[in-house]
Amino acid sequence: MGVEGLRFVITGSGSGIGAATAKLAASKGAKVMVSDMNDDTGSAVVKEIRAAGGTAEYQHCDVTDVGQVQALMAAAAAAFGGIDVLHNNAGIHETGITDKVSLEDMPIEAFRKVVEINAVAPWVCSKYALPHLKASTNGSIINAASTGSWVGYPYNSAYGTSKGGIHLQTKNLAVDLAPFGIRVNCYSPTAIATEMVTNFVAVQPDPAAFEKALISTSLIPRLGQPVEVGELVCFLASPEAAFINGACIVIDGGSLAWRGTVDQIGM
């Protein structure tokens, strides 16, 4: 049980949560197709997995390029004989593209790009993984949502739009793919210690105060670790999660559970 023997495709797995999930899944016996736009980081993840005795291959893929997405699914199926799990992890925040993040200043193209990568591309990846997932006895799609799928944050309008969209895309595809026995779920992390969060914090008017505030709403007042999200992805992919479908699991240290800050409860 667990993810032993499952064949994963993980987009954007050269760094952050995707890389941590790839390494964790491989350490648990999964076969992992690592893919990214950045071939250096993606190949390094594969090297690390193989050095630890795991099974992984690498395929370049910009998820906004339909031809590259088709090639990714074909490469994974050829390497492993099929695909069981599509982890739509690749994502971007507007602060990774521009420091102009207010409604007045943000270039319209930056807004479109965030939505394209975070909400349109997972749909395209799901479309081309589908024939392979249909052939699996444990097919599932796992999408990266966010606490920003549920509530607003400062200077987060493009990201929030895209993550709200992927939350509902998950539920709609869960309905459409249920007849094929394919589960579709997503998960909502709060701030996880990756480059994306570092950039987001850096553009705030007072970065130090913002970082403190970010953590202060969490009942576990620290940043999450990428591998903690990886554990959730592995569980959602596993046969043990066979009754979980169309769900959006919050993984946020409790920050969405209430409306206070930890100083109010003596932390």
Ligand X SMILES: NC(=O)c1ccc[n+]([C@@H]2O[C@H](COP(=O)([O-])OP(=O)(O)OC[C@H]3O[C@@H](n4cnc5c(N)ncnc54)[C@H](O)[C@@H]3O)[C@@H](O)[C@H]2O)c1
Size of the site for ligand X (CB under 6 A): 29
Task: Name which position in 56, 69, 174, 191 contacts ligand X (CB under 6 A).
Answer: 191
Is 7 in a helix, a strand, or coil?
strand
Binding ligand X (rule: CB under 6 A), the pick from 24, 25, 32, 37 is 37
Active-site choice (58, 128, 155, 159): 159
Candidates 192, 234, 241, 249; binder of ligand X (CB under 6 A) is: 192
* Whole-angstrom distance, CA of residue 85 vs CA of residue 237: 6
Which of 44, 135 has the CB closer to ligand X? 44
Does 22 engage in binding with ligand X (CB under 6 A)? no
211 binds ligand X (CB under 6 A): no
Hey, what amino acid is at 258? W
Binding test (CB under 6 A) with ligand X, winner from 3, 32, 197, 236? 197
Write each residue from 65 to 94 as x if it is in contact with ligand X (CB under 6 A), else as -, in one continuous string.
------------------------xxxx--
d(CA 189, CA 149): 10
Buried/exposed code over 41-58 (b: 16+ C-beta within 10 A; e: otherwise): bbebbbebbeeeebbbbb
∠64-65-70 over CA atoms, to 5°? 115
Has 153 been annotated as catalytic?
Answer: no
What is the Cα–Cα distance from 192 to 218, expressed in whole angstroms?
Answer: 12
User: Which structure tokens are listed for 129?
Assistant: 């993984």
Q: Give the footprint of ligand X on this chain (CB under 6 A).
A: 11-12, 14-18, 36-38, 41, 61-64, 89-92, 117, 144, 146, 189, 191-192, 194-197
Instruction: Report, as residue numbers or ranges, the catalytic residues.
Output: 159
